[in-house]
Amino acid sequence: MKFRWSVLLFLLAVLAAPSLLAAQEANLTACVDTYDAAVDYFPEKAAVTDAVGFTVEYFNNYKVVTVATPWQGAEEPIQYVLVQCGTPAPEGFADVPVIEVPVQRMIGMSTTFLPHLVSQNLLDQLIAVDSTMFTSTPEVLAKFEAGELPEVGGGGSGTEPDVEQIVDLEPDLVMEQRFSAEDANFAILEQAGLPVVLNADFLETSPLGQAEWGKFISLFFNTEAQAETIYTDVKTRYEDLKALVADVADKPTVLATTPFGDTWYLPGGRSYLAQLLADAGAAYLWADDEATGSLFLDFETVLNRAAAADFWVNTYQTTMADLLAADERFADFAAVENEAVYTNNARQNANGGSEYFETGVANPDIILADLIKIFHPDVLPDHEFYFYKSLSE
């Protein structure tokens, strides 16, 4: 539909203004000097296939982006109008934030944005981050170490962003995650008149859907073409890996994560991790659960169901000694005895930030490959673990 519209517009433009025929084969990386209403300024468009959290609608000189659920429990979607720089903003979007694209100065407030920015060659446009404490992406760290990337997060998890510094940096875009309606940081930034955009990648429950948020980022930089290529590669690899184990008869049973104190926060049966486990040809023991978020179960309940589980993955601890030091009763799980325990935190930076939660978001195919290697080692004999490692090593 959209495609047909744009073809029609293109044809109209060809008919009306033959002089512009040669223009606009790719999205612009700069502003338009002379605006022509008949020109489609975004010939490269993003098509959202797996993510359910955002949609985009293209017009000649602007895009309308809709984030369906900007935060957990949000009742209304939120919209942004992305206008090609050098062209007039459209009428009829009085209450909708308008962002001029391509963005030249972006502040990223979450580490999950960083791999996308790097892969789309947007590191120059990243002018500040909230904190590099838990950052793993080496290109970003290098820029920080060169003194070219200020931190504006305020220093900790409970902290307010440093609004003064952010305003002083004159960003075109502040991309932020809002975790709840009560999350005050968003309001603080918005009140300061900053161009704040909410990214809800963390609410996406499918691994591919989460990775597709790379396209969301591309919308702001007119880098849809790169994003499409990258995502298609990831998706192809993911689907191929999935197909390798789709028909395995023997699906090992799996337990996941470690408890905080008495309570075991288990991923729900419809969660991100549950899907990865299913796609990796494993039988997650709570797969029948309907929750997309976490389950809060006590140790006893988990032990009762998972004492004989074949595998235990995504432990916080990275060695068997640490695991048993945390609670010697973990030894009651057969997976511990069989040395079938794997952590997803093989790659941590000096501050304990795990690369799994950063690079993994953009590269679910690597996570899937790791998991398949764990559950069905004969299927991927040559694969080297990336995010995962055995606690027995």
Partner 1 sequence: MTTTTPTTSIPAVRELSQPAALTYPHLGVRRMVLVALVLGLLAAFALSLAVGSVNIPLHEIITILTGGEATRAAWSSIILNFRLPKALTALLAGAALSVSGVQMQTLFRNPLADPYVLGISSGASLGVALVILAAGTTGSVLLAGLGLLGDFGLAAAAAFGAAVVLALVLLVARRVQSVVTLLILGLMFGYVTGALVSLLMYFSIADHVQIYLSWTFGSFGGVTWNQMRVFAPAIIGGLVIALMLVKPLNALLLGETYARSLGVNVRQLRRWLILSTALLAGAVTAFCGPIGFLGIAVPHLCRGIFGTSDHRTLIPASILLGGMVALLADWVAQVPGSQIILPLNAITALLGAPVVIWIILRRRSLRASLNG
Which CB, 55 or 317, lies closer to partner 1? 317
Which CB, 60 or 343, lies closer to partner 1? 343
- Closest approach of partner 1 to the CB of residue 307, in Å: 4
Q: Which 135-194 residues touch partner 1, going by CB under 8 A?
A: 155-159
Instruction: List the one residue out of 334, 327, 386 whose CA is nearest residue 355.
Output: 386
Strands 311-315 and 294-298: unpaired
Q: Which 84-143 residues touch partner 1, going by CB under 8 A?
A: 133-134
Contact status, residue 78 vs residue 67, Cβ threshold 8 Å: yes
- End-to-end C-alpha distance for the chain, whole angstroms: 54
The answer to the question of residue 18 lying near partner 1 (CB under 8 A) is: no
The answer to the question of residue 298 lying near partner 1 (CB under 8 A) is: yes
Ramachandran area for residue 106 (φ above 0: left; ψ -120 to 50: alpha; else beta): beta
The only residue of 327, 337, 339, 393 in contact with partner 1, by rule CB under 8 A: 327
Between the CA of residue 351 and those of 7, 133, 259, what are the distances in Å?
51, 6, 21
Which CB, 49 or 301, lies closer to partner 1? 301
Which CB, 111 or 205, lies closer to partner 1? 111
The only residue of 49, 191, 304, 338 in contact with partner 1, by rule CB under 8 A: 304
Cα 113 from chain centroid (whole Å): 6
Q: How deeply is 178 buried, as exposed, middle or buried, from its count of CB atoms within 10 A (0-12, 13-18, 19+)?
A: buried
Which CB, 73 or 158, lies closer to partner 1? 158
The only residue of 1, 15, 146, 350 in contact with partner 1, by rule CB under 8 A: 350
Query: Residues 6 or more apart from 256 whose CB is under 8 A from it?
Result: 266, 267, 273, 277, 284, 312, 313, 314
Query: CB under 8 A: which stretch of 217-225, 272-280, 285-293, 304-312 binds partner 1?
Result: 304-312
The answer to the question of residue 291 lying near partner 1 (CB under 8 A) is: no
Q: Which 214-273 residues touch partner 1, going by CB under 8 A?
A: 258-263
- Closest approach of partner 1 to the CB of residue 157, in Å: 4
Q: How deeply is 373 buried, as exposed, middle or buried, from its count of CB atoms within 10 A (0-12, 13-18, 19+)?
A: buried
Please name every residue paired with 309 in a beta bridge, in sequence order, or none if there are none: none
What is the distance between the alpha carbons of residues 199 and 178, in angstroms, rounded to a whole number? 8
Which CB, 107 or 306, lies closer to partner 1? 306
- Closest approach of partner 1 to the CB of residue 357, in Å: 10
The answer to whether the peptide bond before residue 267 is cis (omega within 30 degrees of 0) is no
Which CB, 193 or 352, lies closer to partner 1? 352
Which residues of this chain interact with partner 1, rule CB under 8 A?
133-134, 155-159, 258-263, 296-301, 303-304, 307-308, 316-319, 322, 325-329, 332, 348-352
